[in-house]
């Protein structure tokens, strides 16, 4: 019995609509709670980090990926395995820098943006910022400090999402638990 369960982890899917609507309602609620777009973006980022820190465990357990040897492989795994697993889409990885530590993920069809229209007064809102937070949180848990920015999102009618990832540092030592707890406790 235990052999079976380790070979085939349970694939839990939810309806796309439920997912999109829930995310949209979450952002709408944040817009009510906070006045400034920067605060909303920060909250989305923070929520994303908390999710990412847990999600990476689920990801590693279900995907059985070996350790990546360099940032190219990391970006590849993120695009082809992680995004596919959780959002059902595979972004393109392009615009690599010379040093190989800086790249862009292009999502031509971002599932989160279905049925979404952003009003004028929230023009600085980074709608998909939670994805960036999730990536940051997840990568932090595998000891990579990566600067992630949402460069394009809901650009006029294109609806292309561009996420820029820049590798800052590889941590040799895992951060202590206290520091992480302190981060989660931030308001």
Residues 148 and 137 sit within 8 Å (Cβ to Cβ): no
Interface pick for other proteins out of 31, 51, 116, 142 (rule CB under 8 A)? 51
Enumerate residues 53-72 that contact other proteins by CB under 8 A: 54
By the rule CB under 8 A, 9 interacts with other proteins: no
Residues 88 and 111 sit within 8 Å (Cβ to Cβ): yes
Q: 124-145 burial, b if ≥16 CB within 10 A, otherwise e?
A: ebbbbbbbbbbbbbbbbbbebe
Which range binds other proteins by CB under 8 A, 8-16, 77-85, 101-109, 144-152?
8-16
User: How far apart (Å, rounded) are the C-alpha atoms in residues 144 and 59?
Assistant: 16
Tokens linked to 105: 């993920």
By the rule CB under 8 A, 17 interacts with other proteins: yes
By the rule CB under 8 A, 87 interacts with other proteins: no
Name the site residues for other proteins (rule: CB under 8 A): 13-15, 17-18, 21-22, 25-26, 28-29, 46-47, 50-51, 54, 115
């Amino acid at each position: 019995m235990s052999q079976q369960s380790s070979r085939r982890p349970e694939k839990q899917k939810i309806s796309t609509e439920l997912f999109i609507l829930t995310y949209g309602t979450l952002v709408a609620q944040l817009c009510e709670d906070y006045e400034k777009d920067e605060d909303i973006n920060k909250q989305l980022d923070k929520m994303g980090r908390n999710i990412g820190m847990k999600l990476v465990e689920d990801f590693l357990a279900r995907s059985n990926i070996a350790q990546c040897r360099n940032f190219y492989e990391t970006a590849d795994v993120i695009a082809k395995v992680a995004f596919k697993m959780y959002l059902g889409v595979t972004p393109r990885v392009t615009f690599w820098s010379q040093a190989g530590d800086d790249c862009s993920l292009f999502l031509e069809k971002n599932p989160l943006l279905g049925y979404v229209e952003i009003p004028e007064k929230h023009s600085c809102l980074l709608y998909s910022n939670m994805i960036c937070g999730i990536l940051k949180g997840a990568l932090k848990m595998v000891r990579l400090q990566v600067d992630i920015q949402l460069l394009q999102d809901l650009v006029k009618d294109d609806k292309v999402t561009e996420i820029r990832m820049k590798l800052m540092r590889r941590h040799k030592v895992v951060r202590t638990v206290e520091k992480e707890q302190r981060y989660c406790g931030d308001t």
